[in-house]
Structure formats: structure tokens, C-alpha cells
A and B are shown apart, each in its own frame.
Chain A
Amino acid sequence: MEFNPNSTFLYLVAAFVILFVLAQSVFFLVRAWRRGKQLGLSTAKLRKTVIATAVFTIAPALSFLVGVITLAKFLGIPLPWIRLSVIGAITYELPAATSTANALGISLSELITDPKVYSAIAWVMTLGIMPSIILTPILMKKIQGGVVKLKSKDSKWGDIFMTSLFLGMISAFLGMVFADIRSGPAGLIPIFVLLASALTMAVCGLLIKKCNMKWLETYAMTISMVVGMVCAAVITPLIG
């Protein structure tokens, strides 16, 4: 069978995997929605969550599409399409492909035509990501049990504990933005982007509170993110 990384067979495999993920997402969405209603959450609140998240997702999803384009240059479209729709992230897939290509001594500058190279890359991508999938069901009960225990023992500390988790994660990513600060003007770009996004969010927060613009709540995160991205596109040619 002649191999082609853009073959109909591979597209069919991709379509199957993607339908599976869609089914899982719809299943959990419907269940959570029903439970939300039972718990007394209003339809308006649930609908707002869906709309706000959907709008918020578009810009990052487009960046994943850029990831598909990057990988498609040597892997064809179906495999990157699968990987970035399911479990993957470009920060993982690209190093996985590069590492395998280096091990095999081949270049990733053109479309792969050797099925063995292709399947080796597919295996490395798959095996590299498996622990997070397998560990989730194994560790779930322990972790969630711990959270419940913590909350019931001392609910105030439980709240501080949860907030600290979020803040720890956010701090790590905010701190990362300053990593290139000493590497010259270009290193300042992410900091300006961060500030632009933060400032926009602060303005949105004021408008929501002081001017009672409740509707803005739904889009404030998206607006801040897009302003940050536009800021990056504008200042990079000036600074970089």
C-alpha cells in the first residue's frame, strides 16, 4: 500500500477520533446542564457560561490551527488534526516529532513519505502523552476525596487552599512572562502584552461595577485576550 500522510484512510481515522471526543464532550455537557438545573442554577446563568466560553475559545482555537499548519508541513493534515483536537498541545507535539526525527536522522523540512518514520512519530506522540490519561482515573478518587475532607474539616482554610492552587498556577505563568526581560527589547514584548491584557481587564471590571455594564462580564476575558494579542502584533515590528 503506497503511503501518503494525507490519505483518505488517515482522514477517516481522524474523523473517527474527533467524533469520539465530540461525543464525550456532549455527554458531559448535557449531564452537567441537567444537574445544574436540579441544583437551582438558572438557565440564563448556564447559557451565559456556554456563550462566554464559546466566544473565549475562538482565539486560542485559531492558534491551535496554526499549530496544525506547522505540523502539517511534514506530517500531513490528519495526524496533527487528531493530536491538536485530542489531548495534544503544540508545545508537546513539535518536540515529540523533532525528537523522533533526530533519532532516525531525518529532516522535518518536507512531507514524510516513509510510513515507518511516520508511525514512529505517531507512537512517540501517543506514548509520551499516555501517563496523564492513565493517571487521571487512578488518582481521581484520592485527590477528590482529599479535597472533600479538607473542605469539611475547615471550610475557610479549604477556600484559601483552593484559591492558593489557582494563584500558584497563575503566578507560574505570570512569572514566565518575565523570563526574557534581560535579553533586550524583544524580551519586553510579552510583558507589554501582559500589561495590555491586564489593563483592559481592569477597565472592563470598572465598567461592569461602576457603569453597571453586566453584559460585559461575558466577554471581558475574550476582549482582554484579543487586546493583548493585537498589542503583540502592533509592537513586535516596532521593538523586535
Chain B
Amino acid sequence: MSDYMKKTDRYGKFWIWTAAFVIAMVPIAVCLYYNAWPSASAVLKGLLGVAPIFWTVGAIEVITYTPMLGTGGTYLAFVTGNLTSLKAPAALTAMENAQVKQGTEEGEVISTIAIATSSIVTTLVLAVGVFVLALISPVLNHPTLKPAFDNILPALFGGLGVVYVSKNWKLSIAPLVFMVILFVAVPSLASSVGVLVPVGILVALGAGRVMYKKGWV
């Protein structure tokens, strides 16, 4: 491992543990400043409604996105959030355009630059947006625009899909057919798509392994 990668891991650990502390300080600051500690049962009951699914998805995301985003990119992306709807597609597109592969140091660098840029731009758009919220709120909340924002995932993955599927169409067939059939058969799974990402990966890996052994890819 190069010196850069070793240091990336060390810096990454420092930043992410600091981030965990900063993020935990938000509710603590609210409780201390307003002297308003909620009852443990209220927090537990609230948590019970979301934690089982979100903790599972969280653990799955760490395992599946780390190899895709690389060390620096992962440390950054898990602090700045919006992984599937922005950071992962941004990193994938950037690596594709720069013609570098993840798992190489060039891929690591491009992925990190893409995720950092995306985080900075998101933060700036939100900061500016918050200050002119009264002005832009009627525009963003306009009924005409609602379907556009509701459909951001298909709009994003349509383009991304073409790039990846056309380049690796043999490897794409099995996971794509499997997922389309699965979602058509069980539409309610859409709400837990995060859990299905590793299933898609396993199908892709299984089919890929068979094709590799047979010399098809």
C-alpha cells in the first residue's frame, strides 16, 4: 500500500470519528441549551420504528459502497450522506469519464475528488437556498416541479444504466432481469431497495463468475 493510501486511511479515521462526535453533539447541544432532555422511552419508541431497517441498510451500505467509492471517497461520503441519490452516481460517472478504474490509486483519486466536489456543491446550494428560502420556496414547491423531483432516481439511473450496461451488457443481463422480475412481482420491496443492492450484487457476481469460468467475458 502506498504512503498516500496509508495516510488516507489514518486521516479518514480521524475525520470520521470527529464527525461522529460533532453529529452527536447536535442533539446534546439542544438538550443542554434548552434543558429539554426527552424521555428515554420516547426516543426508544421512535427509534424502534426506523432503526431495524436503517441500521441494516447502514451496515449493508458500508460493505457494498466501500469497494466502489474507495477509501477517501467512503470516509467522506458516509459523513456527507445522500449516497445512492448523488455520491455513488457522481463517483461512478467521474471514474468512467476519466477512464480510471476503482481499486487503482487513480480511481481512488478521481472518486475522492468527485465526492468532495459533490459534497461542497451540495452544501453551498443548501446554504444559499436556506437564506433565500422565502424567495425560492414557491418555485421549488410548485406542483409542476414536484414530479421532476419525485423522479430524480429514474432520471439518474437511466443515464447511468446506459453507460454501464452498454459497456458490460453480458454481465448486466442476469442482475437486470432478476431485479425487474422481482420488483414487478413484489412491488412493496421498493421501499427497502437498499437491502436489495447486495442481492443484485450477488446475482451479478454469481453470473459473472460462471461466465468468467466459461470464458464468455
Contacts and interface: CB of A to CB of B under 8 A. Distances in A.
A196 B161 CA distance: 12
A226 B58 CA distance: 29
A66 to B, nearest CB: 5
B84 to A, nearest CB: 7
A134 B20 contact: yes
A21 B130 contact: no
A117 B45 CA distance: 13
A121 B30 CA distance: 11
Contacts of B163: 201, 205, 221
Contacts of B61: 132
Nearest to B156: A225
Contacts of A115: 30, 34, 36
B74 to A, nearest CB: 6
A163 B67 contact: no
Contacts of B13: 137, 140
B97 A82 contact: no
A160 B30 contact: no
Q: Number of contact residues on B: which range applies?
A: 35 or more
Interface string B101-116: 1110110111011111
A165 B113 contact: no
Contacts of B180: 174-175, 178
Contacts of A228: 151, 154-156, 158-159
A108 interface: no
A9 B33 contact: yes
Secondary structure of the A contact surface, majority rule: helix
Name, among A137, A146, A151, A164, the residue most crowded by chain B CB atoms within 10 Å (CB to CB): A164
B94 A139 contact: no
Contact of B141 (A39, A64, A69, A163): A69
B141 to A, nearest CB: 6
Given A58-B121, A228-B156, A87 B80 contact: yes
Contacts of B33: 1, 9
A136 B62 contact: yes
B164 A170 contact: yes
A165 B157 contact: no
Interface string B124-141: 011101100100110011
A32 interface: yes
Given A87-B78, A197-B158, A229-B155, A181 B145 contact: no
B193 to A, nearest CB: 5
B216 to A, nearest CB: 11
B130 A81 contact: yes
Contact of B112 (A28, A176, A191): A28
Contact of B12 (A66, A140, A205): A140
B68 A166 contact: yes
A126 B82 CA distance: 15
20 contacts: A3-B36, A9-B33, A13-B30, A50-B117, A58-B121, A99-B46, A116-B42, A119-B34, A134-B20, A136-B16, A136-B78, A137-B17, A137-B75, A162-B68, A169-B64, A175-B196, A176-B193, A179-B187, A180-B187, A205-B166
Given A49-B117, A166-B164, 20 more contacts: A18-B127, A25-B117, A28-B112, A32-B72, A33-B113, A41-B100, A65-B130, A85-B80, A86-B19, A87-B81, A104-B45, A143-B66, A160-B209, A171-B176, A173-B153, A194-B157, A197-B156, A228-B156, A229-B152, A232-B147
